Amino acid sequence: MTTSQVAKRRGSAAVTLFAVVAIGAGALTRADALDGTLDVRSAYINVDNGVYELFARVIYPANDAIVAALRDGLTLSFDLDVVVTRERRYWLDSDVASLTLRRELQYHTVSDRYRVRDAPDGEPQSYATLEAALAALGKVEAWPIIIRSQLADDARYRISVRAGVRRGRLADALRAVLFWSNDWHRESAWYSWSLPQ
């Protein structure tokens, strides 16, 4: 083997090693599609004529991957799970009610706006920016979750709220690309408090 052949092989090996290291580093530093804050910041109950209504504020993630996917035709689904639990001292707690508020976010290319609607068939609301759309999604006001007659007078209850975001409907062009991806599903921690009597 000549000196020039050895040099070529070493150069080729160096390029290959550099490519492997670059790909590995890219994979390690690649952010998940839903990176960012996902948090139930506040939640409380208001009682109106015997109906327990939930008010909540949720912070949802916003990043370039979300913007790009929405502009490519992805629909994101936003869930707010609520569980009302009867607390028992000497036995297992029991769920009195378990509800989910479902909303969807998509980008409308023609109007260059983001659309938010209650799923499955709510009236869409339009927003100029992703941040404004996410702020609207994170605002829950006077959502009826339970009525007074479902609660016993001598019992203690706990309310737990959790927010989630996941991939919804896919445009045809994205089906093959995102079929195997698990990056499009996240849930917040539970936000819990005792229901005042």
Summarised one tens digit per residue, pLDDT across range 1-21 is: 555 554 455 555 443 333 333
Residue 47 has pLDDT above 90, yes or no: yes
The reported pLDDT for the residue numbered 170 is: 56
Q: Is 76 exposed, middle or buried (0-12, 13-18, 19+ CB in 10 A)?
A: buried
Mean pLDDT of 65-73: 89
What are 139's strand-pairing partners? 57
Distance CA 120, CA 115 (A): 14
Q: pTM of this prediction?
A: 0.74
- Nearest of 67, 43, 29 to residue 140 by alpha carbon: 43
Question: Going by C-beta distance under 8 Å and a sequence separation of 6 or more, which residues neighbour residue 165?
Answer: 34, 38, 60, 61, 76, 77, 78, 79, 185, 186
Backbone angles phi, psi at 153, to 5 degrees: -65, -35
Q: By percentage, how much of the chain surpasses pLDDT 70?
A: 76
- Residue 42, number of CB atoms within 10 A of its CB: 11
Q: Is 130 helix (H, G, I), strand (E, B) or coil?
A: helix
